Chain A
Amino acid sequence: LPSFTGEVKCEAPNNKLDKFTGTLTLRGEKYALDNEKMLLRGCTIRNTDWCFGLVIYAGPDTKLMQNSGKTTFKRTSIDRLMNVLVLVIFAFLALMCLILAIGNGIWEHDKGYYFQVYLPWAEGVNSASYSGFLMFWSYVIILNTVVPISLYVSVEIIRLGNSFYIDWDRKMYYQVNDTPAQARTTTLNEELGQIKYIFSDKTGTLTQNIMCFNKCSINGKSYGDVYDMSGQRIEINENTEKVDFSYNQLADPKFAFYDHSLVEAVKLNDVPTHRFFRLLSLCHTVMPEEKKEGNLVYQAQSPDEGALVTAARNFGFVFRARTPETITVVEMGETKVYKLLAILDFNNVRKRMSVIVRSPEGELTLYCKGADTILYELLHSSCDSLKEETTEHLNEFAGEALRTLVVAYKNLDEDYFQDWIRRHHEASTALEGREEKLSELYEEIEKDLMLLGATAIEDKLQDGVPQTIETLAKANIKIWVLTGDKQETAMNIGYSCNLLNDDMEDVFIIEGHTSDDVLNELRNARKKMKPDSFLDSDEINIQFDKSSKKPKIIPDEQANGVYGLVITGHSLAYALEGNLEVELVRTACMCKVVICCRVTPLQKAQVVELVKKYKKAVTLAIGDGANDVSMIKTAHIGVGISGQEGMQAVLSSDFSFAQFRYLQRLLLVHGRWSYIRMCKFLKYFFYKNFAFTLVHFWYGFFSGFSAQASPASTVYDEWFITLYNLVYTSLPVLGMSLFDQDVDDRWSILFPQLYVPGQQNLYFNKIVFVKCMLQGIYSSLILFFIPYGAMYNTMRSDGKAIADYQSFALMAQTCLLIVVSVQIGLDTSYWTVVNQFFIWGSLSVYFAITFTMYSDGMYLIFTASFPFVGTARNTLGQPSVWLAIFLSITLCVLPVVGFRFLKAQLKPTPSDKVLLKINEAKKRPPPPSPKRRLRRTSTRRSGYAFSHQHGFGALIMSGRNMRPKSPFATTGTFSPNSDKYKHKGL
């Protein structure tokens, strides 16, 4: 190998998964390299212990990584809104300063000029307008507390805290592989409460990627259901007794089956049953591996096939080994070697596969399995009655969203077969039209089949997936499934996890192969869902007629029913181009469910990008594999399932956990809480800073517009200004935004409608901000004018003057602090010990600090810093001061109480109603947790159980991939020539 000197020329790294061109020059000879000779990153090579390969692309150049898209810095919509608001506040600040500066100019001109006897203008100031100009900047400094600098820090702390809750949640901890949920990004929490679109991968996310032989119908009898004494069907759960396969040494211990009658049938040597399992053990392309005697491992091209062969194995028909010419099966403990004469392989058109074998007894038999629609056409007329019974069973299986296959056999005539195999050989060596000739031959022999029965395989969903999807759907979240699987499989899963169901008006399938086809299909779908949307009067049409180049936000449209949409990868490629984008978005977003099948990783990201571009909605992508990385990175929030498929998805995700069902807790509980907490925090924060700062503004009108940042010249004591945001008000609001819950987690999940306000961005937006501002302005008016009125031209109860500046400052700041504390108490709906401690603590700290700072000792030591000596003692003893404080609180808070209550009474939002319902329900004893049984009434014939394109029957027959790996099998030897089969990896 070190002497290998070759040269590979290939195309530049790109993201096309299905194309590769290059040449390998080795000792002067050129070999073509194409996609067939490539292995993509993340591929598993089965049945191969070692191979030579050459790395063509590495790291970020690999095709998969090229597909994964850029990592963008994610920010939440609240972040963006906050930035806008801060700018607005700056503008507001500038406006206030301008007003005050002009006021100062006028004042200095009218009054200050004449007041110079007692207060000469400052040095360098020679005109009123110049003084006004200086005052502008002074006020910028004074009023800058309205721009909340500590806001950003507090927001980050809250997000961090809420992320920790996700890490700590035991209900999102998956015990089986010891994985807790993980918030990998700590800046996106509140966005979790606003998700409108979920883009989900299928395999490994919705499903476990485990196929399970669940039911079967043999010769008109259905097996797999368990009945109790009275003939009632029993729900299968962990406690149901499993069938004991201990009589079979080679049984797979993991296999579980519950219907004992099938085992009985096998043990009673029921002929059709034996034939059924014999077929399952022979008709497949599975490779066995037996490294230790009795420890069989099957390598199947698709997990469905593996499930069928495993089922046969457990029922006593153990597929043990294969060579290119033989198949060794241990039938009920007896080893039999069948001669494998031909494999009539699977492809997408045929939708079936067959094998022709010669039994040790010399019988020639064709065994066939395939999709029911196809196979029913090929049956012999004698099994019509059996066909009916089986159809009934198939419908039943399909109703439970199982993947079905029909199996049939045919005994062959020796002479006919010899003739056929000769022609088959000719055809397979033909140079022209080999495919057509072969398929003709296959059709010829695969007819007049005898029906044996049907199998039903369950594509095992992850636990709780249907329930989760139902809950999320109730929360008005739209779920799009983006999968690389083919259409039938994808739709099948759609039905089994309750995404699609028969209650839907229609499920549109977009599979056009040209741009026009796709356009027509999309338009037809939309016409059916909302005929109005084609009228010229339609809002969106009007909007688009105005045609500017910029992508517009398309508002939500309401369809006239519940619809689903299935779109295939190649149609999607057209739909994602240029002008079709809008059509796709409009049509797809009207549907409740969208399934995109056979999509590439890049397309997944494009779909997410599309929705992000045209819809003002928050998107979430969830997936487990490397092929989901791109969409996880593109979506506003990426969730990785930390499952079997490696860490790729998790590493690029923002949140990760082990099971899909945790998504509902992440969104409905953590997301909702985070969102509500963040909104409450922002509302309160802006409110308190406005109330705080605007008092300066009003005071400006009474103090000659003269404020400037210097010791003791604002409304408050300068220390109060410093400590207000830092000490007095920071902890209560943090306490609220870390602990608040309007309803607990149980109710949040029980009433997913509570999630909707988050999606509509109702709790914090520009309007809410303006309301906060107005409330702040109102409070500041109260906070200034009540103390003003109470002190104006009056005196203390001992006759001394009351209206000195320091007393007024103390009174105003005490009012302010108590008012904002009461306000936070009003906002807090969940008073834990911590909240109590923070709120009462902050108030007591305020009084403690105030009295300390105003004490004699502090004044004598730091004379310049604490000029307020004695103010607290002298002022806070006055009854009129406390009466003014109480009045301010009442006037600030009582209207809020009344307004909130009346709003909930008169114009209740949907979530108000739900909260009311919850409150009523809380009074009653809690209802027994509803046993939700998902009843599927689907009469749809479900997809058949083949998941991939071509089988590798040809490979088996050629024997190229065979090695004597199975020393325990009783087969002959054959030459191991597979070493030649080299992989060009990448």
Chain B
Amino acid sequence: MKNKMSFLPQEGEAHPSRCPDNSAFKQQKLPAWKPQLTIATVLSSFFVIGVFCLSVGVCLILSANSVREVQIDYSDKCSDCSKLRENSSNWNKECHCYVNFTLKEDILGDVFMYYGLQNFYQNHRRYVMSRSDAQLLGRNVNIQKSYCTPFTTYKNGTPMAPCGAIANSMFNDTIDLYYNLNSSVIQVPLLKTGNSWWTDKNVKFRNPKSYNLSSAFAGTARPLYWQKPVYLLDEQDERNTGYINDDFIIWMRVSAFATFRNLYRRVRRIRWFADGLPAGNYTFHISYNFPVSKFKGRKHVILSTVVWSGGSNPFLGIAYVVTGTAATLTGFVITAIHLKLRKKKTYFQK
């Protein structure tokens, strides 16, 4: 490059030469790293990734297997209640049902209680958008302009608080767990707060400000399907009622799929339950309010522990093992092909 410069006429000042600049960019000579698919890089990537995936997969499977999970479908077990709820005129009648199960072994560690719904399309487009985030922030907004229809106002014009299809369809079964110890029944203590994201509880959801909650929600009415107004969601705990009720927040975080589980309660680790759930007979006391039979939905209650990788779903572990195996095998195949070709080549060269 440099000796090329010397060819150039030096009277450049008088006559601006039209010769292009000699910059690496303009001459397309920028220094560059030129990676190539060589046998070494390809094989090492296959083997390294293969081994890595295999080991991660094994770890994932082992840890998923260590998760203890109890899943009980109570939509059939409570068929009486289910039938009762099919008729919406019975909305104010209470219906209880009891589901027994036995733990053969202790479940040690933190135990979480979930409710699971099946065939409930929380991810439907019109469902997902049917909410007013501004209203849930406690702002005084005109929800007529939101996407809440048709759950916006009552016929007389009273706005619903909270509005929208999501809030209206909030899961409202009450599930309590009882431990049957030597013919005495002990209610398992459950925690109902601290189950939602910090950001949701503290940023995304706020109650309207006023001297007390009922006045804050004055002028609004409960959603159509609700049995009580929003400010009475938790009558014992003021920091868990209104829009910032944990159950409500969790419900409002809509699921990506039609089958999903939401965290409902955590077992409080005191007394008998300090190490988790001891083996024995248990009963779920379910106050059945949430109708699902009409759209062939199903309801579950799940007790589970967690590990670093989450729950008992073995998918990732299996996928990793399969991928790792495939990558390693492909690595061997490539090696074989390469060796064969090289032999052939040297043979021809001779």
Instruction: Report the minimum CB–CB distance from B29 to chain A (whole Å).
Output: 8
Decide if B323 touches A891 in the complex (CB within 8 Å). yes
Decide if A703 touches B7 in the complex (CB within 8 Å). no
Instruction: Report the minimum CB–CB distance from B16 to chain A (whole Å).
Output: 10
In angstroms, Cα B147 to Cα A194, docked, is 55
> For the complex, is B338 an interface residue (Cβ under 8 Å from A)?
yes
- Given the known inter-chain contacts A170-B4, A800-B197, A874-B199, please indicate yes or no for A864 contacting B125, CB distance below 8 A: no
Decide if B197 touches A874 in the complex (CB within 8 Å). yes
> For the complex, is B227 an interface residue (Cβ under 8 Å from A)?
no
Decide if B46 touches A894 in the complex (CB within 8 Å). yes
Decide if A805 touches B20 in the complex (CB within 8 Å). no
Most chain B CB atoms below 10 A, which of A789, A808, A863: A863
Which of A711, A793, A832, A873 is close to B32, meaning CB atoms less than 8 Å apart? A832
- Given the known inter-chain contacts A169-B27, A856-B203, A905-B341, please indicate yes or no for A792 contacting B257, CB distance below 8 A: yes
Decide if A904 touches B37 in the complex (CB within 8 Å). yes
Instruction: Report the minimum CB–CB distance from A260 to chain B (whole Å).
Output: 30
Which of A799, A830, A897 is close to B37, meaning CB atoms less than 8 Å apart? A897
- Given the known inter-chain contacts A122-B126, A790-B316, A794-B313, please indicate yes or no for A178 contacting B203, CB distance below 8 A: no
Q: Mark out the residues of chain A between 158 and 183 whose CB falls within 8 Å of any chain B CB in the assembled complex.
A: 164-165, 167-170, 173, 175, 178-180
Decide if B110 touches A799 in the complex (CB within 8 Å). yes
Decide if B18 touches A180 in the complex (CB within 8 Å). yes
> For the complex, is B70 an interface residue (Cβ under 8 Å from A)?
no
> For the complex, is A712 an interface residue (Cβ under 8 Å from B)?
yes
Chain A residue with minimal CB distance to B141? A863
Decide if B261 touches A795 in the complex (CB within 8 Å). yes
Instruction: Report the minimum CB–CB distance from A710 to chain B (whole Å).
Output: 6
Chain B residue with minimal CB distance to A172? B20
- Which B residues lie within 8 Å of A808 (CB)? 256-257
> For the complex, is B258 an interface residue (Cβ under 8 Å from A)?
yes
| Bitwise interface map of A from 907 to 935 toward B, beta carbon under 8 Å scored 1, else 0 | 00000000000010000000000000000
Instruction: Report the minimum CB–CB distance from B121 to chain A (whole Å).
Output: 5
Decide if A870 touches B124 in the complex (CB within 8 Å). no
In angstroms, Cα B308 to Cα A883, docked, is 12
Instruction: Report the minimum CB–CB distance from A680 to chain B (whole Å).
Output: 15
- Which B residues lie within 8 Å of A117 (CB)? 88, 169, 291, 294-295
Decide if A804 touches B261 in the complex (CB within 8 Å). no
- Given the known inter-chain contacts A706-B124, A799-B110, A869-B199, please indicate yes or no for A791 contacting B256, CB distance below 8 A: yes
Chain B residue with minimal CB distance to A115? B295
Instruction: Report the minimum CB–CB distance from A795 to chain B (whole Å).
Output: 5
Which of B254, B309, B312 is close to A879, meaning CB atoms less than 8 Å apart? B309
- Given the known inter-chain contacts A170-B19, A897-B42, please indicate yes or no for A859 contacting B320, CB distance below 8 A: no
> For the complex, is A900 an interface residue (Cβ under 8 Å from B)?
yes
Number of A residues with CB within 8 Å of any CB on chain B: 95
Q: Which of B129-137, B269-277, B281-289 contacts A (4 or more CB under 8 A)?
A: B129-137
- Given the known inter-chain contacts A111-B295, A703-B121, A795-B311, please indicate yes or no for A890 contacting B53, CB distance below 8 A: yes
Decide if B121 touches A111 in the complex (CB within 8 Å). yes
> For the complex, is A901 an interface residue (Cβ under 8 Å from B)?
yes
In angstroms, Cα B319 to Cα A897, docked, is 19
| Bitwise interface map of B from 286 to 311 toward A, beta carbon under 8 Å scored 1, else 0 | 00000100111000000010111111
Instruction: Report the minimum CB–CB distance from B303 to chain A (whole Å).
Output: 11
Instruction: Report the minimum CB–CB distance from A162 to chain B (whole Å).
Output: 10
Decide if B308 touches A786 in the complex (CB within 8 Å). no
> For the complex, is B112 an interface residue (Cβ under 8 Å from A)?
yes
Most chain B CB atoms below 10 A, which of A123, A788, A797, A904: A797
- Which B residues lie within 8 Å of A42 (CB)? none
> For the complex, is B150 an interface residue (Cβ under 8 Å from A)?
yes
In angstroms, Cα B196 to Cα A173, docked, is 69
- Which B residues lie within 8 Å of A883 (CB)? 56, 60, 309, 316, 320
Decide if B169 touches A118 in the complex (CB within 8 Å). yes
Decide if B125 touches A860 in the complex (CB within 8 Å). no
> For the complex, is B93 an interface residue (Cβ under 8 Å from A)?
no
> For the complex, is A803 an interface residue (Cβ under 8 Å from B)?
yes
Which of A702, A790, A831, A860 is close to B35, meaning CB atoms less than 8 Å apart? A831
> For the complex, is B337 an interface residue (Cβ under 8 Å from A)?
yes
Which of A710, A745, A786, A807 is close to B125, meaning CB atoms less than 8 Å apart? A710
Which of B9, B114, B320 is close to A887, meaning CB atoms less than 8 Å apart? B320
Q: Mark out the residues of chain B between 1 and 52 whose CB falls within 8 Å of any chain A CB in the assembled complex.
A: 4, 7-9, 15, 17-22, 26-28, 30-37, 39, 42, 45-46, 49
> For the complex, is A148 an interface residue (Cβ under 8 Å from B)?
no
- Which B residues lie within 8 Å of A869 (CB)? 199, 203-204
- Which B residues lie within 8 Å of A788 (CB)? 257
In angstroms, Cα B113 to Cα A801, docked, is 11
Most chain A CB atoms below 10 A, which of B21, B254, B295: B295
> For the complex, is B334 an interface residue (Cβ under 8 Å from A)?
yes
Which of B28, B32, B124, B263 is close to A119, meaning CB atoms less than 8 Å apart? B124
Decide if A832 touches B46 in the complex (CB within 8 Å). no
In angstroms, Cα B147 to Cα A800, docked, is 28
> For the complex, is A120 an interface residue (Cβ under 8 Å from B)?
yes
> For the complex, is B168 an interface residue (Cβ under 8 Å from A)?
yes
- Which A residues lie within 8 Å of B169 (CB)? 117-119
- Which B residues lie within 8 Å of A870 (CB)? 197-200, 203-204
Which of B22, B30, B36, B316 is close to A884, meaning CB atoms less than 8 Å apart? B316
- Which A residues lie within 8 Å of B294 (CB)? 114, 117
Decide if A707 touches B125 in the complex (CB within 8 Å). yes
- Which A residues lie within 8 Å of B110 (CB)? 799
Decide if B334 touches A902 in the complex (CB within 8 Å). yes
In angstroms, Cα B122 to Cα A878, docked, is 23
> For the complex, is B195 an interface residue (Cβ under 8 Å from A)?
yes
> For the complex, is B260 an interface residue (Cβ under 8 Å from A)?
yes
In angstroms, Cα B313 to Cα A739, docked, is 45
- Which B residues lie within 8 Å of A707 (CB)? 125
> For the complex, is A829 an interface residue (Cβ under 8 Å from B)?
yes
> For the complex, is A867 an interface residue (Cβ under 8 Å from B)?
yes
> For the complex, is A219 an interface residue (Cβ under 8 Å from B)?
no
Decide if B310 touches A706 in the complex (CB within 8 Å). no
Decide if A807 touches B295 in the complex (CB within 8 Å). no
Which of A792, A805, A919 is close to B128, meaning CB atoms less than 8 Å apart? A805
- Which A residues lie within 8 Å of B254 (CB)? 804-805
Decide if B42 touches A803 in the complex (CB within 8 Å). no
Which of A118, A122, A901 is close to B168, meaning CB atoms less than 8 Å apart? A118
> For the complex, is A362 an interface residue (Cβ under 8 Å from B)?
no
Most chain B CB atoms below 10 A, which of A179, A790, A803, A900: A803
In angstroms, Cα B311 to Cα A878, docked, is 12
- Which A residues lie within 8 Å of B330 (CB)? 894, 898
- Which B residues lie within 8 Å of A879 (CB)? 308-309
Decide if B203 touches A829 in the complex (CB within 8 Å). no
- Which A residues lie within 8 Å of B149 (CB)? 123
Most chain B CB atoms below 10 A, which of A800, A809, A867, A897: A800
In angstroms, Cα B316 to Cα A175, docked, is 65
- Given the known inter-chain contacts A114-B296, A829-B35, please indicate yes or no for A863 contacting B309, CB distance below 8 A: no
> For the complex, is B259 an interface residue (Cβ under 8 Å from A)?
yes
> For the complex, is B255 an interface residue (Cβ under 8 Å from A)?
yes
Interface residues of B (CB under 8 A from A): 4, 7-9, 15, 17-22, 26-28, 30-37, 39, 42, 45-46, 49, 53, 56, 60, 88, 110, 112, 114, 116, 119-130, 133-134, 137, 139, 147, 149-150, 165, 168-169, 195-200, 203-204, 250, 253-263, 266, 291, 294-296, 304, 306-313, 315-316, 319-320, 323, 327, 330, 334, 337-338, 341
Known: A119-B126, A123-B149. 6 other contacts (CB 8 A): A119-B169, A795-B310, A801-B261, A830-B34, A863-B134, A898-B46
7 of the cross-chain contacts (CB-CB < 8 Å) are: A119-B127, A739-B28, A791-B256, A805-B255, A883-B309, A901-B334, A902-B334
Interface residues of A (CB under 8 A from B): 111-112, 114-115, 117-120, 122-123, 138, 164-165, 167-170, 173, 175, 178-180, 673, 702-704, 706-708, 710-713, 739, 741, 745, 786, 788-809, 829-836, 856, 859-860, 863-864, 867, 869-870, 873-874, 878-880, 883-884, 887, 890-891, 894, 897-898, 900-902, 904-906, 919
Of all A-B residue pairs in the complex, the 4 with the closest CB atoms, nearest first, are A870-B199, A808-B256, A794-B313, A168-B26
